[in-house]
Structure 1
Amino acid sequence: MDDIPFFPADWLNTERPLALADFRGRVLAVEVFQMLCPGCVLNGLPQAQRLAQTFDARDLAVIGLHSVFEHHAGNSREGLAAFLHEWRIRFPVAIDEGGDGPLPRTMEAWGLQGTPSLVLFDRTGSMRARHFGQVADMALGAQVMGLIAEAAEE
């Protein structure tokens, strides 16, 4: 995880800034979203919440990455904090640092197409999946269980 580029400018729902290395030893699901993205609000974030509620936190960590590439004026930190409170999103959320181009830095470094995106890392920190758009719950659950089972076998 130390060699995976990650550029959080700020964090919400955590007492301290986090790094990907903080999740070493667990499978990590990163929900990449924009609060003004209908697909994120209707599908991506609720699915991330279901992941966090379904799997043991010792096996799976879930975080959000707010990566804004449009409607910048409507995506302030204060607005995001209110959004997370209203939608009862409790997992840590990083705010992606703006980049030189149209995409935020982490989003660009990870080769993501847009939001919502869900990125899965195995317990060693290797990026194992990048899903763009809606993912079927059962397919995602099976994929996460496969990664958790790998960790248990070693």
Structure 2
Amino acid sequence: MNAIAPELQVASWLNTARPLSLEQLRGKVVVVYAFQMLCPGCVSHGIPQAKAIRAAFDQQDVAVLGLHSVFEHHEVMNRAALEAFVHEYRIDFPVAIDQPSAHGPIPLTMEAYRLNGTPTLLVIDRQGRLRLHHFGRADDMKVGAIIGQLVAERAPQQVQCDDTACSIR
């Protein structure tokens, strides 16, 4: 499981002034929590775990994103309801609204990642590779250890040259 993570396909964003992409977050460990508002496991464990990860790790090293990926009850899980949910649960990290599919109930990012449902935790390393894909309740200690290990991995050094010399950055 070291393939480059597919880009998120997002209809719109909450809690960010501009759209985000995995490409622009390259160099950080990216934690994506796929959730639904009406998912009991998301409310009891997934969202609190995402908030704890956001609090525990330096935002220079780890970006936490929510992915509201609706595959059921589409009529009640709209943007207005999500905005109220994000406010009530005090979610302060960026939340992407998964792009609905024109061909069925499964949204595009959910399909691209082959998510089995929610909550699903995706952890992407500094190079953009998917390193963890976990459906259901994820153990806090194991998740923290994995993220800590990925934070400790340094991004590959880049060589930059000008007319007089080359240096490693």
CA, structure 1 residues 32+57, in 2 after alignment: closer, same or farther (shift >3 Å)?
A: same
CA distance in 2, matches of 1:93, 1:109: 18
Residue 74 of structure 1: aligned partner: 76
Gaps of 5+ in 1: none
Which letter maps to 1:107? M
State the Cα distance separating 1:2 from its structure 2 match.
8.1
**Count of residues paired in the alignment:** 154
Offset, 1:101? 2.7
Q: Which moved more, 1:94-103 or 1:31-40?
A: 94-103
> 2 CA distance for matches of 1:53 and 1:86?
18
Counterpart contact for 2:7–2:22, Cα < 8 Å? no
Query: For the Cα contact (< 8 Å) 1:5–1:110, is it kept in 2?
Result: no
Residue of structure 2 aligned with 1:26, choices 16, 24, 28 = 28
The 3 A distance-change label for structure 1 pair 20 and 72 is same
In the other structure, the counterpart of 1:61 is 63
Structure 2 match to 1:83? 85
- TM-score of the pair, normalised by structure 1: 0.95
The structure with the larger Rg is: 2
Asked if 2 retains the 8 angstrom alpha-carbon contact of 1:2 and 1:21, the reply is no
Greater helix fraction, Structure 1 or Structure 2: 1
Q: Residue 22 of structure 1 aligns to a residue in which SS?
A: coil
Q: SS at the partner of 1:25?
A: coil
Amino acid paired to 1:129: L
**Segments ≥4 residues shifted beyond 6 Å:** none
* Alignment partner, residue 4 of structure 1: 6
TM-score normalised according to structure 2 size: 0.87
**Distance in 2 (alpha carbons) for counterparts of 1:87 and 1:80:** 10
**Is 1:128 matched up with 2:131?**
yes
* AA of the residue aligned to 1:53: A
In structure 2, give the amino acid aligned to 1:29.
V
SS of the residue aligned with 1:120?
Answer: strand
Amino acid aligned to 2:108: R
| Equivalent position of 1:143 in the other structure | 146
1: distance between equivalents of 2:97 and 2:69? 6
SS in 1 for 2:123: strand
CA root-mean-square deviation: 1.7
> Which residue, out of 107, 111, 116, partners 1:113?
116
C-alpha separation between the residues in 2 aligned to 1:77 and 1:11?
10
